[in-house]
Amino acid sequence: MSEDGRIGPNALLQLIPLLDQAGGAAFRSALLARAGVFEIPDGSEMIPEGVAARVHQEMRRSVPDLAPALSWAAGRATADYILAHRIPPLAQRVLKVLPAPLSARLLSRAIADHAWTFAGTGTFRVVSPYCFEIRHNPVIRDEVSDHPVCDWHAAVFARLYQVLVHRDFVCIETQCATMGGEVCRFELRRDPSLHFPEIPKSTT
């Protein structure tokens, strides 16, 4: 992973309050310290992708049972930030009333145009309006796993499609570079039966 490459600050900032919720301020501070992060960005500019990657990877090492739910919630929060601050209200209204196939096509193009905010120095590709790939994904670079771990990315895509295309969309990572794949592949599907775990609240 590169400290010179940049990624959007929400790759880290949306995770901070969720770490507090899950384990309290001491838990969050200890996890950040293990990741070598001692100052939280103010969100005014892009951040080194290595900083975000170290925190996400340390979270997966430290609390593997909680990591998927934390990543998913952070991804949803990131998408909500995008909806509130990056996609004009008029554009959102248009996407919501268009037929789903056309809306998905337009949304996938918009996501590609802003891929640098969540893919950093990785290479983002739209395979179809319902399938994306990231090659050299910086958030998981050099990480090894026996299962897909890019829940943050999947949640960002899922939430945007749920709000702007159809509420039943989910996003499944069907290939992950941590498992030896050449790319991280994300597929959007309409499946209202899929649910994701809630984050337990801290008792501290």
DSSP per residue, 144-167: --SS---HHHHHHHHHHHHHHT-T
Task: Lay out the sheet containing 184-190: strands in order across.
Answer: 123-128, 131-135, 184-190, 169-175
pTM of this structure: 0.92
Distances (CA, A) of 186 to 8, 103, 128, 160: 19, 18, 11, 13
pLDDT tens for the chain, 204 residues long, are 445 799 999 999 999 999 999 999 999 999 999 999 999 999 999 999 999 999 999 999 999 999 999 999 999 999 999 999 999 999 999 999 999 999 999 999 999 999 989 999 999 999 999 999 999 999 999 999 999 999 999 999 999 999 999 999 999 999 999 999 999 999 999 987 776 656 555 544
pLDDT digits (tens, 9 = 90+) for 107-157: 999 999 999 899 999 999 999 999 999 999 999 999 999 999 999 999 999
User: Domain 6-190 in CATH: superfamily?
Assistant: H-NOX domain (3.90.1520.10)
Domain ranges of the chain: 6-190
User: b/e for 100-139, b at 16 or more Cβ within 10 A?
Assistant: beebbbbbbeebeeebebbbbbbebeeeebbbbbbebbbb
For residues 91 and 100, give the distance between their C-alpha atoms in angstroms, rounded to a whole number. 14
Q: What is the C-alpha separation between 21 and 199, in angstroms, rounded?
A: 8
